[in-house]
Amino acid sequence: MTQMPLAKALNESLRKALENDPKVVIMGEDVGRLGGVFRITDGLHKDFGEDRVIDTPLAESGIVGTAIGLALRGYRPVVEIQFDGFVFPAYDQIVTQLAKMHARSLGKVKLPVVVRIPYGGGIGAVEHHSESPEALFAHVAGLKIVSPSNANDAYWMLQQAIECDDPVIVFEPKRRYWDKGEVDVSAVPGDLHKAVVAKPGTDLTLAAYGPMVKVCLEAAAAAANEGRSLEVLDLRSMSPIDFDTIQASAERTGRLVVVHEAPVFYGAGAEIAARITERSFYHLEAPVLRVGGFHAPYPPARLEEEYLPGLDRVLDAVDRALAF
């Protein structure tokens, strides 16, 4: 076990992938000599050369389009979108080409492309740097969507995404980049899309992914001081979603609150709430509740703490669910 920040775990994961497979290439804005704005690719250009760690122009559509062409020629490109809000020029390439090629070719063509996207708020950034657009991509068939919440998952999930023959978008919670955690580099990783119980409990289930898992663990600790036992699920994957694990937990505790940083309106929590209500209606003691961002543009940095779901909003939902 080695302790490292989540950002360093991603860096080590990319290094391992480059070492293991000569067909792995990294592409993106400033990923080479600079090592990325968050230093996720730091040192890789020096150690593996400019043919495998490639600085690109500021052209997200071109970056993803080039990655698709490389994948067609047998490479495994790992694309970095510098910030979440910069992905939209590449949206057409991702949803009409990358996501569709396997079905369009009746399964004959595989596109093992990974798109890394630092996402979410909490870093005091300017406009277009704090978005949570995961639901826009999870809605598209043909894409796999994952988000690690801790350093160990970051290390293993990124490698698993690179090894996958399908396109995978890895949403990296940028405000957790500097959170340290234990990484077991010799472990056998589990299912990339399997949810895990981050903390067991009996009274209510909190289900979250990415940056909100830490908030939910803090909420569970605060609730324990009041004699409440909250279970915390780390969903890890947004497409596919591990509904079986969520269902088992919700039926065990009788209550479910889904938490994500993205807006509640049409967010991933809506699909989870609907599906668990259909599956577990007679096991639930309260309606499935959702906690998330507001249906409004992401605010200036000085107001983002009011926008982001925090401990108080999660605990308020817990109180409402337990009041039934």
Asked whether 75 and 29 are in contact (CB, 8 A), the reply is no
Mean pLDDT (whole number) for 174-192: 95
Beta bridge partners of 32: none
Mean pLDDT (whole number) for 57-68: 98
Q: Which DSSP category does 40 fall into? A: T
Given this model, what pLDDT does residue 54 score? 98
| Residue 27 phi, psi dihedral angles, 5° rounding | -135, 145
Of residues 45, 129, 193, 260, which has the active-site annotation? 129
The confidence band for 1, taking pLDDT boundaries of 50, 70 and 90, is: confident
User: Taking 90 as the threshold, does the pLDDT of residue 288 lie above it?
Assistant: yes
What is the value of pTM for the model shown?
0.96
Asked whether 192 and 218 are in contact (CB, 8 A), the reply is no
Alpha-carbon span 84 to 121, nearest angstrom? 10
User: Taking 90 as the threshold, does the pLDDT of residue 256 lie above it?
Assistant: yes
Asked whether 292 and 268 are in contact (CB, 8 A), the reply is no
- Can you say how many angstroms the Cα of residue 237 is from the centroid of all Cα atoms in its chain? 7
The confidence band for 224, taking pLDDT boundaries of 50, 70 and 90, is: very high
Say which residue the tokens 């690179």 belong to.
162
Given this model, what pLDDT does residue 216 score? 98
Say which residue the tokens 């497979």 belong to.
21
Given this model, what pLDDT does residue 133 score? 97
Alpha-carbon span 157 to 162, nearest angstrom? 9
Q: Which DSSP category does 297 fall into? A: P
Q: pLDDT tens across 119-150, in order?
A: 999 999 999 999 999 999 999 999 999 999 99
Alpha-carbon span 199 to 202, nearest angstrom? 10
Given this model, what pLDDT does residue 292 score? 97
Given this model, what pLDDT does residue 317 score? 98
Alpha-carbon span 174 to 34, nearest angstrom? 18
User: Taking 90 as the threshold, does the pLDDT of residue 231 lie above it?
Assistant: yes
Alpha-carbon span 117 to 208, nearest angstrom? 18
Alpha-carbon span 233 to 136, nearest angstrom? 22
Alpha-carbon span 238 to 288, nearest angstrom? 18
User: Taking 90 as the threshold, does the pLDDT of residue 285 lie above it?
Assistant: yes
129 is a catalytic site residue = yes
Asked whether 293 and 264 are in contact (CB, 8 A), the reply is yes
Could you give all domains of the chain from N- to C-terminal order, each with its CATH number? 2-183 (3.40.50.970), 196-323 (3.40.50.920)
Question: Could you give the angle at the alpha carbon of 226 between the alpha carbons of 257 and 215, nearest 5°?
Answer: 45
Mean pLDDT (whole number) for 231-245: 98
| Sheet containing 230-234, strands listed edge to edge, beginning at the edge strand earlier in sequence | 196-199, 230-234, 204-208, 256-263, 289-293
Q: pLDDT tens across 150-169, in order?
A: 999 999 999 999 999 999 99
Mean pLDDT (whole number) for 194-217: 98
Helices (H), 74-225: 91-92, 101-104, 134-138, 151-163, 212-224
Arithmetic mean of pLDDT over the chain: 97
Q: Which of 143, 144, 162, 164 is nearest to 154 (CA)?
A: 162
Q: pLDDT tens across 20-54, in order?
A: 999 999 999 999 999 999 999 999 999 999 999 99
Alpha-carbon span 112 to 165, nearest angstrom? 4
Given this model, what pLDDT does residue 219 score? 98
